[in-house]
Amino acid sequence: MPPKRLSTSETDKTRCPKSVTLETKLKVLRRIEAGEKIVKNCKAMELAISTFQTIRDKKEDIRTYLQSAVPLMSRD
């Protein structure tokens, strides 16, 4: 049986979760609707494929939130 993998400083680091802004989610949805490839977009936006898939799967929830949200800037 081979020995276990040695611990290095890179593998010891834990990933901290990134929060994705609503603006980024909208950009993702626009790119998906435009028919662009997911892998290409992930590299361009530096996001994981699972993040893209989650945003795609929850697009109705995101759109519902946007419709019910109050605008932050007043329009004069």
pTM of the model: 0.65
Between residues 59 and 71, the one the model is more confident about: 59
The whole-number pLDDT of residue 75 equals 56
Burial label, 26 (beta-carbon count in 10 A; 0-12, 13-18, 19+): middle
Give CA–CA dist 30/37, Å, rounded: 12
* Averaged pLDDT for residues 10-35: 82
- The total of other beta-carbon atoms located within 10 Å of residue 27's CB is 16
The crossing angle, in degrees rounded to 10, of helices 22-33 and 59-68 is 130
